[in-house]
Amino acid sequence: MNTPKPNSSKWNLWSILTLIFSLAIFNSAVLAQGGDDDDDDDDLPDVSGVYVDTNGVLRVRKLDKKGKLNSLRKRPANAASNLVYISLPKLFAEVKQHVDNGKRLPADLRLLKGMVKLKYIFVYPEKKDIVIAGLAEPIESPRSSRPYGKHTGRPVLQLDDLVVALRINGPGTKGRGFGCSIDIPKGGVEAVNAVLRSPSARRKTKQQKAREMVQNVGPQDVRIFGVPNNTRFAFVCLEADYLMKRQSLGLDPAPHPHVKYTFSRSQQYHRAWFQEHYEPILVSEDGKAYEIRGQGIKLAASGNKSGGGNTPANAKRYVTAFTKFFPKFVNNEPAYADLQNLSDLALVASMIRKDRLARAVSWNLDWIQKSGGYRVRQVPVPTHCETLANYKAGTYAVGGVYLNLKPYTNSRETDKTQSLKTTRKRPHTGWFVIQSLSKTK
């Protein structure tokens, strides 16, 4: 679609999807097997949220009446003190036993024993075991849509997301990329220009013209690719994309003082999207231990809607600053930390596929990966979203999420110092074991 230049009015149209988790949506969307053994709903957090109107369009609403989000921002970034080691074959054997017996899954199973950051994979062919390990914390609000760690406020990794990662990137798959995109509808640009060029435009306030733009453009299409569109996995991708747009527009506070977007009239169209971003995986000399390194996520940009073209200087500055300071603010932004967790899970699934780790330990994933086995809880991810307009400068900007972990399975570094040897561990009896970080140093 050719994008005509607007007149001299200062404006900016963003394709925005309002996707902060809503308790109203998720409480009604808990289907199939999950659940937990705690019936106390009093500690459910009030968070910024959304609602789906009668036409199936996602729209904004704000809840955060108790200031829970602000309290999360003030928590220390590196307060986790334990590593949890989880045997994947034993974990899913435990899950299957609960399901076969018609029992609800307890929070420890659904929330992977409070793991908030995935860091390691350990393989034990002689014991027929694959173990994942990561930072763990006590779980707060285990029945909410996004449980989080008590110390850092990071979202807790979830069993359903692990299952989805294994289905899209695990053994037997092609390991394709996944993500989302929010698309300007056909005629959307013309609808905006009609508002700006109307004879009455000069007599209207910026707010009036913005509202008229939203009405004229109408809802925008949401595309989910590479992942089932009725999963929390898909929802988090959209939510993180939306939050990035709102922050760069100035509608929400910037995630960091040095991460602010400055618009320019010299570039009419640009695109920003989330990508994977890891250092080479550290691998032991015997190939039985792996460490995931790097921040996992970065922001990329281009000068046109297809993802190519020269990146405007202002967009380049923004994505560079966003990526640079991401480790400093990610724990204070649950949507970004959740996207980081999903990327880590997808990378682990990719490594299991690439190195044939499931075959090495004789682990059969049929019940996990195929329909008719484990049922992932369904989440209502809308196909349309509400358009928001704001006046900043003459630039069209859109975004998305595209994570492709396949290339990183070949990016490796040998652990010549044998640092992984002191961290390596596995549960001998149950499906998990917890160890203090001080004992791994």
Percent pLDDT > 70 in the chain is 75
CA distance 83 to 37: 24
pLDDT at 21 over 60: no
Place of tokens 């089932």: 228
Number of domains composing the chain: 1
pLDDT band for position 44 (cuts 50, 70, 90): very low
Does residue 1 sit within a domain? Answer: no
* pLDDT, tens only, 71-81: 544 455 455 67
CA distance 88 to 361: 11
CA distance 278 to 282: 11
Does residue 3 sit within a domain? Answer: no
* pLDDT, tens only, 97-110: 999 999 999 999 99
Place of tokens 């499906």: 431
Does residue 105 sit within a domain? Answer: yes
CA distance 57 to 286: 52
What's the confidence (pLDDT) of residue 28? 24
Does residue 129 sit within a domain? Answer: yes
The 3-class secondary structure across 382-424, one letter per residue, is CCEECCEEECCCCEEEEEEEEECCHHHHHCEEECCCCHHHHCC
Report which listed range, 52-66, 352-366, 393-407, is most confident: 352-366
* pLDDT, tens only, 247-305: 877 777 888 999 987 655 544 456 788 999 999 999 999 999 999 999 999 998 876 55
Q: How far is CA 112 from the centre of its chain?
A: 17
Least trusted range by pLDDT, from 8-12, 56-60, 104-108, 279-283: 8-12
Between these two residues, 39 and 211, which has the higher pLDDT value?
A: 211
Does residue 226 sit within a domain? Answer: yes
Place of tokens 């909410």: 144
What's the confidence (pLDDT) of residue 270? 60
Does residue 82 sit within a domain? Answer: yes
Does residue 7 sit within a domain? Answer: no
Whether the Cβ atoms of residue 123 and residue 52 lie closer than 8 Å to each other: no
Range of the domain at 284: 14-440
Burial of 98: CB neighbours in 10 Å, binned 0-12, 13-18, 19+: middle
Does residue 5 sit within a domain? Answer: no
What's the confidence (pLDDT) of residue 306? 53
CA distance 20 to 246: 11
Mean of pLDDT values over 369-386: 86
CA distance 154 to 386: 28
Write down the pTM of the prediction. 0.83
- DSSP assignment letter at 293: -
